Each structure stands twice: as C-alpha cells, then as structure tokens.
Amino acid sequence: MGMPITVEVVDESATDADVDAIYKYFEYVDETFSTYKETSEITRINKGTLSLAEASEDMHTVFRLSDQTKWETDGYFDIYRNGSYDPSGIVKGWAIYNAAEQLRARGFKHYYVDAGGDIQTAGKNAEGQTWRVGIRNPFNIQQIVKVVYIHDHGIATSGSYIRGQHIYNPKSSEPFVSDVVSLTVIGPNVYEADRFATAAFAMGRDGIDFIEQLNGFEGYMIDENGWATLSSGFGAYTHDV
C-alpha cells in the first residue's frame, strides 16, 4: 500500500500463519485499489477499461461508503476529482478495520493493526497495558508531541508532512489545504476515524469544530504555525485508564 504496515497479536495462540493472512489481505487491497498500479481495478475504472458495474463487490462497497461520507460531510469528502477516482482517503481505514475484524473472527482479543500511522487496537498490549500511540510533530517527525491511550478504538491522522500536499478542499479554488498540517482523530474504530479525519482536514481550521460536533469522536489539530487545538474530550485519552 506504499506505507509500512505493522500487525501485532498478543494472544499466545496466534501463529505466523494468522499474521501472514492479514498481510495477504493488505496485498489484495493494494492490488485492487492502488492508483499507482496499472493493473488495479481503480486504475482500470479510471482508464475506462473496466466499468464500475463489472468491478468487484469490495469496489462497490467502497464507492457506496464514499458517497455516504460525502453526504455526511457536506461534500468535503469527495473521491472524484479531475476526471478520475481516488478512494485512498477511505480505503486505508476501511482495510485496517477489516483486517482487525479478521483477527477478531479468529478469536483473538489483544491486537494492534497499523498502516501508515492509522491504527485499530483491541484489548491490551504485551505488558497488559492500554495501547499507547504517539502523535508526531509534523515539523519534526522524530519528535512525539502527544501520547494517547486507546482501548478498542481507532485513531487516524491526516496531514501533509509525510506525503506532501495531497488533500484538497473541494469547495475552494485553492488546490490544497495549507492552514492545517496535521489532524488526528480518535473514533469508535479506525474506519470512522480515518474518513472523518480526511474530511475534517479538507475543511482547514474549521475541521476541529466539525470533529467537536461528532458524537463519539475527538480530535487534535496542528496548524501551519505549530499551534495545537484539541476537542473538548481529547484529554481523556492522554491518561491511561
């Protein structure tokens, strides 16, 4: 998927085969949805050599979820631009969530799935503690500016400090968002956190207000000047409970 993926299963019954199955799932997702692969379904759809009607069930699911998210965010989330589709703003969180659900279906209770910094957790870590996740300083990625503790939740960050400018505001004439450099969202699962983090980032400074109004979500925004703005309940995740 063009990003590092980490899968950790704490349950003693886990085997290499269990973890390998998760990595194989991510390979399938990459082969289906990567806009950088000439043979992927999404590339063939964009080139017109594959119709959406002929696409896989998973492709139909992602398009349906994208339409739903567009409606729920008043159009700030949109996978269609300049004549082509790019569902990466929703696929990553969706895939991580599905991978975590596969682990749950195998009977595991304590695990962590991370793809490019977007994470789904369950249970406890190897030390029997709540999973800890660091939020990077977008101006110095070797530095952690905040540590959060999440239990059976998802966390996702949208930003321009790793991949450069790639998230745009569909309602603005400016090509990309520039007044915000990082926006982290904690939600009930990583799929929900990821899609709303992308939409909120597209809103610029107003994105943290959008997250504030979402029931069950908290956010941490860093603007172009390095100032951080937190949603009202974010502090609850900065202490182990």
The CB-side HSE value for 216 (13 A sphere, CA atoms) comes to 10
Between β-strands 154-159 and 180-187, what pairing exists: parallel, antiparallel or unpaired?
Answer: antiparallel
Q: Which amino acid is at 24?
A: K
The whole domain housing 9 covers 5-237
Looking up residue 230, the CATH number of its domain turns out to be 3.10.520.10
Overall number of domains in the chain: 1
Please tell me the pTM assigned to this model.
0.93
Q: Which amino acid is at 198?
A: T
In this prediction, residue 240 carries a pLDDT of: 63
Place of tokens 């692969």: 37
pLDDT tens, the chain, 241 aa long? 678 999 999 999 999 999 999 999 999 999 999 999 999 999 999 999 999 999 999 999 999 999 999 999 999 999 998 899 999 999 999 999 999 999 999 999 999 999 989 999 999 999 999 999 999 999 998 999 999 999 999 999 998 655 545 566 777 666 667 789 999 999 999 999 999 999 999 999 999 999 999 999 999 999 999 999 999 999 999 976 5
Within 156-240, residue ranges assigned H as helices are: 190-202, 207-212
Q: Which of 29, 8, 28 is nearest to 18 (CA)?
A: 8
In this prediction, residue 69 carries a pLDDT of: 97
What's the CA gap between 239 and 76, in Å, rounded?
A: 32
